[in-house]
Structure 1
């Protein structure tokens, strides 16, 4: 219930009214889970923008994956991110084996959730795409039937760039790509994902 209210009162008004978002190829978004959304990461608004693309009845199924050391660093932020946003915290600096670190994500996918992942790891320069980390490949190798939907955003890095706290109203474009599936190995999957994200970035740049 709390996550539904968060979507209704915060996410939808902020992204769709204050900013405005133009989603191209919206029909390629998953209608249900399990699924993984991957996007470029330029702003703290990225997660809210992705959440806003989905109808309210999926509010409890959208699960952003976020760094535990950042989003659980104090009691208030921890409560908001876990209960209102519904993040799955990831221990970036833990010494556990990869399979153990990814266990909560695998379990979420098996429950039919839709995960939000940013393969760059941290926020980069506005409208740019950094090097993709292969954590997504480790995850999808354990859930090979799960579709991975690439999305490229333009405008969020200008609306609220890294290091800024003042939101600047800016029309945001979101380009949704065709779903990708597991390849025969992690390198092949990462190459396909990088190629797809670069293609979306180029198409958006040409349109703008």
Structure 2
């Protein structure tokens, strides 16, 4: 991580106390987070603030695959975002597909091989309506190539704190449920097989759904957003 000291000090003296005082988050299953060694934290995604609540709740530093748009902003806000995401060791994720997305996953793989905790939102984008959408294959790609455990997690109530298009958060109590680690030994020999990756991804999403209690929708959230905007999407994409 770019600055572990900065991360820990910000969490201990600034962000952590503020979040705990204002939002009073509750956590279940914290003992499922390994004390050391790499793991993937796979979580539902309902709010921009999700990536703030998780690091406050989890004792170890967490790196996230974050959409690369956060590094492209202009003006003071853009510079601030780039500095903050860089200094906390976050990894820009290109979601355009192809080689760009593969390079982003390679950076996530490197972080896991370094022994880090890597946070991933398998849906690839925030839920447009509070439901849980189909997971993309990147989480399985990383889990099978690195053979690290995947820890399913569910955030509760963050969509009430900061729904899409809302800049200033509302005060609302939130929760985090952390499930037992998942291992996929039977699939390791077929790490690059898309059918194996789909099976693993669906198992992960099933556990997230069980923890969150969300209704599951078997299309990508990005497709749903395009459909809502009047565009076309293919609900059968892998």
Q: TM-score, normalised by structure 1?
A: 0.86
Deviates more, 1:111-120 or 1:68-77: 68-77
Aligned length: 197
Higher radius of gyration, 1 or 2: 2
Residues 1:88 and 1:172: Cα distance change in structure 2 (over 3 Å): same
Deviates more, 1:181-190 or 1:159-168: 181-190
Name which structure has the greater RCO, CA cutoff 8 Å, separation 6+: 1
5+ residue gaps, structure 2, are 188-195, 215-238
Q: Aligned partners of 2:151, 2:136: CA distance in 1, in Å?
A: 16
* 2:171 match: 169
Residues 1:135 and 1:157: Cα distance change in structure 2 (over 3 Å): same
For 1:1-208, what aligned pairs fall within 5 Å after superposition? Answer: 1-55=5-59, 58-59=60-61, 62-73=62-73, 74-83=78-87, 85-93=88-96, 95-96=98-99, 99-125=102-128, 127-144=130-147, 146-182=148-184, 183-184=186-187, 185-202=196-213
RMSD over equivalenced CA pairs, Å: 2.0
Residues 1:71 and 1:16: Cα distance change in structure 2 (over 3 Å): farther
Q: Aligned partners of 1:20, 1:115: CA distance in 2, in Å?
A: 24
5+ residue gaps, structure 1, are 204-208
Q: TM-score, normalised by structure 2?
A: 0.76
Conservation of the 8 A alpha-carbon contact between 2:123 and 2:134? yes
Shift in Å, 1:126: 5.7
